Amino acid sequence: QVQLVESGGGLVQAGGSLRLSCAASGGVFSTYFMGWFRQAPGKEREFVAAISWSGGSTYYADSVKGRFTISRDNAKNTVYLQMNSLKAEDTAVYYCAANSAATTRTFDYWGQGTQVTVSS
């Protein structure tokens, strides 16, 4: 069973950048399809981005395409989310997720989340 710990959240002005990290332990990281989700106050959790086991394929929500980049370093057991050109509507708790099979919806393992606040 894999454990996930996110970091890198914080307060940033609109137009700024942040990089989130998610460190995995307790499993073979390269065997997990990884994803990022977010949940804003009063809204349902939504898919942000996902990356395949080797990093060769990436997937994005339309709302972040061209601004966010997901990547992974299997040697460091870490997945990243580089967020550029941040907008107030990107404010949310961001969650890292892992799953053995390819998916952008159903993940078996979740981190505790990290808060991202974008001030306008």
> Per-residue pLDDT tens for 45-76?
999 999 999 999 999 999 999 999 999 999 99
Angstrom distance (rounded) from CA 64 to CA 61: 6
Q: How much is the pLDDT for 65? A: 98
Angstrom distance (rounded) from CA 60 to CA 38: 13
Which of 64, 8, 4 is CA-nearest to residue 32?
Answer: 4
Say if CB 86 and CB 20 are below 8 A apart.
no
Angstrom distance (rounded) from CA 32 to CA 50: 11
Other CB atoms within 10 A of residue 67 CB: 15
Say if CB 96 and CB 116 are below 8 A apart.
no
Per-residue pLDDT, averaged over 101-116, amounts to 94
Q: Is the pLDDT of residue 39 over 90?
A: yes
Q: Round the average pLDDT of the chain to a whole number and report it.
A: 97
Q: Is the pLDDT of residue 97 over 90?
A: yes
* pLDDT category of residue 78 using cuts at 50, 70 and 90: very high
Burial of 27 (0-12, 13-18, 19+ CB in 10 A): middle
